[in-house]
């Protein structure tokens, strides 16, 4: 009976702890409700309508407010980043809602996005390998489906490629995880203390298992050896979905990297691998972006380069990472939103076709310039502040331990910022400076609400440069000690 | 080596046993069976149907939908059996004042509800309907009259040409 009373306590404990999962529950409930509404009001003949997204938005905002409560209770990095992820989710749905003549299958569009969001939240929260795997799979499978939502040939091709690469990478990751389970007999990362003291098996198998597990994580953030899927997917996928792809999975997996850092990075090889990945992502992302002709493809390579920067921030310190991540979220949503506006107005995505657009749509042009300057990391935008924080962080790290790797991270980061200037400024160059012989483009109506939304995001970018304090205060409310 | 790791040895024994039994059976059959192959015997056996085309032929996408839905409920059954045996223990339910049972029950109901939603989705959106695609006759007018085609079709159709082969 000793066992039984213990069980009773345990059960009651678990039920009490469930209140920490309210945001996830609300999203699941939102997903189910949206699905039921979709099933009742729409069928094969009648396609889902935009207001189904509005119902979903209500649930997401509810989850966001709940998450504020949860964060004020735990106030650790994971809960803060969940707040950020939910914010990105709200932003995505608001952006999508501005397209009143929404895509085909609007119901599925929002439902599957909710799946992606739940996966990301689980990853950011969990320290159990099984739940991490479930979260990553949930996120990936939703992403595979969402990347097919342009419903054309390119989109199907990109989706299939993404699925095949993703399946291989998660197979590697799962094998690595199973090996880790075999070595430690636990799935809880916090019990991995023993990992580097298990001497029976020797170092090599453990390192191999850790490498394999990392392989899956790095695939999700599109770090360089595992980045090949991203340009195709970014080019063919609906633009707002790309904005979500480039932010939500990335930030979630980076939180995971922070969670496992002190357990996995005990091996210098693993640390070196990550640092090498950072340098490689930066260099390859930036140099490949130089040759791109399609705006979305160029931004795909730019987001690979930003993965490199985020990895540098990961090695610098948590504060700079959080700042960079937040600014990256706002920048990316702004830029992809602008690409969408141009795509909608003139149905073009090639950079060379942007020629002379600066005169036709000056507001969009100016917003583009500011957002791209921020992505490059020049003043007066928050991108500059974020880069300053990252570089000073990594420089301090170098001064304390004199590890030449940190110095090379610093140097490569600076060097690549210069390289990135060339391709980011290609868009303003074509829009404003290059003279064109009047090309006539068919002009369609585009959403003014969307333009205002992007305008406010860009305003935040400038505001965060002049007044970074409010953002910094928010970041310093996180309890980094954990 | 701990107990759990050692118990993987049993799996190894099963693996070896399986390989030995299957290869042993096939080997014995190979020795004692008469070898008189003919065309009928060498075709792929598929539940008595005559195989059509190669294995790389395209399969209608609807089969996958049916297979997926089948899998859905297969998984449900696989999950329900251990659930019933592990969570249906009377002494645990009594000891926890019924809480144990309620928790297990509500969890399973949520699970089944979401699975059922999946089926409802496929049903409502019409993915279970096997409507025949409408084949429109082409407006192409060939130089060869239709009667000749019909004559050729008749000549080589299955029912007329099915004479026993020598």
The predicted-structure confidence for A212-239, as pLDDT tens digits, reads as follows 999 889 998 888 888 889 999 999 898 9
Which backbone phi and psi does B80 adopt, to 5 degrees?
Answer: -70, -35
Contact (CB, 8 A) for A285 and A424? no
Highest mean pLDDT among A159-173, A251-265, B98-112: A159-173
Mutate to test the interface with A, among B95, B112, B115 (most CBs of A within 10 A): B95
Q: What is the pLDDT of residue A197?
A: 61
Q: So what's the pLDDT on residue A481?
A: 58
Q: What pLDDT does residue B136 have? A: 78
**Residue predicted with more confidence, A142 or B87:** A142
Q: How far apart are CA A198 and CA B78, in angstroms?
A: 36
pLDDT, tens digit (0-9, with 9 covering 90-100), for A264-293 = 877 888 889 899 999 999 999 999 999 899
CA distance A107 to A50: 8
Nearest CA in chain B to A42: B125
d(CA B69, CA B64): 9
C-alpha separations of A267 from A261, A433, B27 in Å: 10, 51, 50
Please give the structure tokens belonging to residue B115: 């699975």
CA proximity to A216, closest of A176, A245, A273 = A176
Among A34-43, A145-154, A259-268, whose mean pLDDT is lowest? Answer: A259-268
Nearest to A241 by CA among A322, A296, A293: A296
**If you average pLDDT over every residue of chain A, what do you get?**
87
- Chain segment A430-481, per-residue pLDDT in tens: 888 887 766 667 777 777 888 999 999 999 999 988 888 888 888 887 776 5
Q: Helices A153-184 and A229-236: crossing angle, nearest 10°?
A: 140
CA distance A250 to A298: 18
Cβ-Cβ contacts under 8 Å, B95 against chain A: 1, 4-5, 7-8
Q: Would you say A271 and A265 are in contact if contact means Cβ atoms under 8 Å apart? A: yes
Instruction: Tell me the range of A49-58, A85-94, A187-196 where mean pLDDT is highest.
Output: A85-94
By the CB < 8 Å criterion, does B103 face chain A? yes
Cis peptide before B120 (omega within 30 of 0): no
Q: What are phi and psi of A300, to 5 degrees?
A: -65, -45
pLDDT value of position B32: 92
Could B95 and A39 be called an inter-chain contact, meaning their C-beta atoms sit closer than 8 Å?
A: no
* B87–chain A Cβ distance below 8 A for any pair: no
* pLDDT (0 to 100) of residue B49: 77
Domain ranges in chain A? Answer: 13-266, 267-482
- Position A102 scores a pLDDT of 56
Taking the Cβ of residue A36 and every Cβ of chain B, the question of whether any pair is shorter than 8 Å is answered with yes
- The pLDDT score that the predictor gives to residue B86 is 81
B4 is written with which tokens? 């759990």
Distance set, CA A431 to CA A352, A358, A440 (Å): 9, 5, 15
- Residue A425 to residue A442: CA distance in whole angstroms: 25
Q: Which of A7, A109, A110 to mutate to test the interface with B (most CBs of B within 10 A)?
A: A7
Cα–Cα separations (whole angstroms), residue B37 to A293, B28, B33, B42, B46: 62, 18, 11, 7, 18
The structural domains of chain B, with segments of one domain joined by +, span: 60-130
Closest partner CB to B95 (pick from A8, A15, A43):
A8
Residue % of chain A over a pLDDT of 90: 46
* Three-state DSSP state, A188: strand
Q: What pLDDT was estimated at residue A468?
A: 81
A48: exposed, middle or buried (Cβ count in 10 Å: 0-12, 13-18, 19+): buried
The mean pLDDT of B139-155, rounded to a whole number, is: 81
On whether any CB of chain A is under 8 Å from the CB of B100, the answer is yes
Chain B partners within 8 Å of A1 (Cβ): 95
Smallest Cα distance from B18 to chain A, Å = 24
Q: Is B128 left (phi over 0), alpha (psi -120 to 50) or beta?
A: alpha
**Backbone φ and ψ of B98, nearest 5°:** 85, -15
Task: For residue A8, list chain B residues with Cβ-Cβ distance below 8 A.
Answer: 95-97, 99
Angle between helices A268-290 and A295-316 (to 10 degrees): 150
CA distance B6 to chain A (A): 11
HEC readout, A22-42: HHHHHHHHHHHHHHHHHHHHC
Across-strand partners of A53? none
The model's pTM: 0.85
Would you state the pLDDT for residue B160? Answer: 52
End-to-end CA distance of chain B: 68
Which residue has 């004042």 as its token pair?
B97
Q: Is there a contact between A102 and A53 (Cβ–Cβ < 8 Å)?
A: yes
* A7, A12, A39 ranked by CB distance to B120: nearest: A39
A43 and chain B: CB distance < 8 Å anywhere? Answer: yes
Please state which of the ranges A171-175, A308-312, A464-468 shows the lowest mean pLDDT. A464-468
Q: Tens of pLDDT along A3-33?
A: 767 878 888 888 888 888 899 999 999 999 9
The answer to whether residue A35 neighbours chain B at the CB level (below 8 Å) is yes
pLDDT digits (tens, 9 = 90+) for A186-212: 888 887 765 656 656 677 888 888 889
**Whole-angstrom Cα distance, residue A322 to residue B161?**
77
Q: Which SS3 state, helix, strand or coil, does residue A350 take? A: strand
- CA of B38 to nearest chain A CA: how many angstroms apart? 41
List chain A residues with CB under 8 Å of B5.
Answer: 182, 185
Task: For chain B, give the secondary structure using H, E and C.
Answer: CCHHHHCHHHHHHHHHHHHHHHHHHHHHHHHHCCCCCCHHHHCCCECCECCCCCCCCCCCHHHHHHHHHHHHHHHHHHHHHHHHHHHCCHHHHHHCCCHHHHHHHHHHHHHHHHHHHHHHHHHHCCCCCCCCCCCCCCCCCCCCCHHHHHHHHHHHCHHHHCCCCC
Residue A8 and residue B96: Cβ atoms within 8 Å? Answer: yes
| Chain A residues near residue B125 by CB distance under 8 angstroms | 39, 43-44
Q: Which residues pair with A128 in a beta bridge?
A: A188
Q: Quick one: pLDDT band at residue A121, thresholds 50, 70, 90?
A: very high
B122 to chain A: which residues are within 8 Å by CB? none
Are residues A226 and A307 in contact, defined by beta-carbon separation less than 8 angstroms?
no
Is pLDDT at B4 greater than 80 in this prediction? no
A43:B126 CB<8 A? yes
∠ CA A9-A11-A14, nearest 5°, is 110
Cα–Cα–Cα angle for A245, A246, A248, nearest 5°?
A: 65
């Amino acid at each position: 009976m000793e066992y039984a009373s213990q069980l009773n306590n345990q059960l009651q404990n678990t039920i009490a702890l469930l209140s920490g999962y309210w945001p996830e529950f609300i999203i699941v409930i939102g997903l189910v409700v949206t699905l039921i509404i979709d099933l009742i009001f729409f069928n094969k003949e009648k396609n889902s309508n935009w207001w189904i997204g509005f119902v979903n938005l209500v649930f997401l905002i509810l989850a966001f407010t709940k998450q504020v409560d949860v964060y004020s209770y735990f106030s650790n990095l994971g809960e803060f980043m969940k707040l950020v992820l939910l914010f990105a989710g709200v932003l995505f749905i608001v952006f999508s809602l501005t397209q009143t003549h929404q895509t085909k299958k609007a119901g599925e569009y929002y439902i599957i996005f909710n799946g992606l969001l739940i996966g990301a939240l689980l990853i950011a929260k969990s320290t159990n390998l099984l739940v991490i795997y479930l979260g990553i799979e949930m996120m990936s499978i939703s992403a595979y489906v969402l990347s097919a939502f342009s419903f054309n040939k390119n989109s199907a091709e990109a989706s299939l490629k993404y699925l095949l690469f993703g399946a291989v990478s998660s197979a590697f990751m799962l094998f690595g995880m199973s090996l880790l389970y075999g070595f430690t007999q636990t799935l809880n990362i916090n019990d991995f203390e023993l990992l580097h003291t298990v001497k029976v098996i020797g170092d090599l198998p453990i390192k191999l298992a850790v490498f394999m597990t990392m392989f899956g994580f790095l695939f999700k953030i599109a770090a360089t050896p595992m980045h090949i899927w991203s340009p195709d997917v970014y080019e063919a996928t609906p633009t707002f979905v790309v904005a979500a792809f480039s932010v939500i999975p990335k930030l979630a997996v980076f939180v995971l990297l922070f969670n496992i850092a002190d357990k996995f990075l005990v091996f210098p090889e693993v640390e070196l691998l990550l640092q090498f990945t950072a340098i490689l992502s930066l260099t390859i992302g930036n140099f490949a972006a130089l040759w791109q002709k399609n705006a979305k493809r160029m931004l795909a390579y730019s987001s690979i380069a930003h993965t490199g920067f985020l990895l540098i921030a990961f090695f610098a310190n948590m504060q700079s990472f959080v700042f960079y991540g937040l600014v990256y979220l706002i920048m990316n949503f702004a830029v992809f939103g602008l690409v969408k506006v141009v795509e909608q107005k003139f149905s073009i995505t090639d950079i060379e076709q942007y020629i002379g657009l600066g005169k036709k749509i000056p507001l969009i042009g100016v917003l583009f310039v500011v957002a791209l300057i921020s992505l490059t990391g020049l003043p007066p935008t928050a991108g500059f502040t974020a880069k300053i924080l990252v570089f000073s962080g990594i420089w301090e790290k170098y001064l304390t331990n004199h590890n030449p790797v940190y110095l090379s991270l610093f140097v490569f980061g600076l060097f690549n910022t210069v390289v990135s200037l060339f391709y980011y400024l290609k868009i303003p160059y074509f829009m404003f400076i290059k003279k064109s012989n009047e090309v006539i483009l068919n002009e369609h109506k585009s959403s003014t609400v969307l333009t205002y939304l992007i305008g406010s995001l860009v305003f935040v970018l400038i505001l965060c440069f002049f007044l970074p304090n409010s953002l910094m205060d928010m970041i310093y409310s996180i309890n980094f000690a954990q | 080596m701990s107990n759990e790791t050692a118990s993987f040895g049993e799996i190894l024994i099963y693996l070896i046993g399986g390989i030995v039994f299957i290869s042993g059976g096939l080997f014995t059959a190979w020795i004692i069976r008469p070898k008189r192959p003919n065309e009928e015997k060498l075709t792929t056996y598929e539940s008595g149907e005559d195989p059509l085309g190669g294995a790389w032929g395209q399969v209608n996408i609807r089969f996958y939908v049916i297979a997926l839905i089948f899998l859905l409920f297969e998984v449900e059954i696989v999950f329900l059996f251990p659930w019933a045996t592990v969570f249906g223990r009377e002494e645990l339910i009594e000891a926890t004042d019924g809480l144990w049972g309620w928790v297990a029950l509500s969890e399973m109901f949520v699970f089944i509800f979401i699975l059922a939603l999946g089926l409802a989705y496929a049903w409502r959106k019409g993915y279970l309907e096997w409507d025949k695609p409408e084949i429109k006759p082409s407006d192409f007018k060939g130089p060869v009259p239709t009667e000749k085609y019909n004559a050729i079709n008749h000549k080589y159709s299955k029912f007329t040409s099915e004479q026993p082969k020598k």
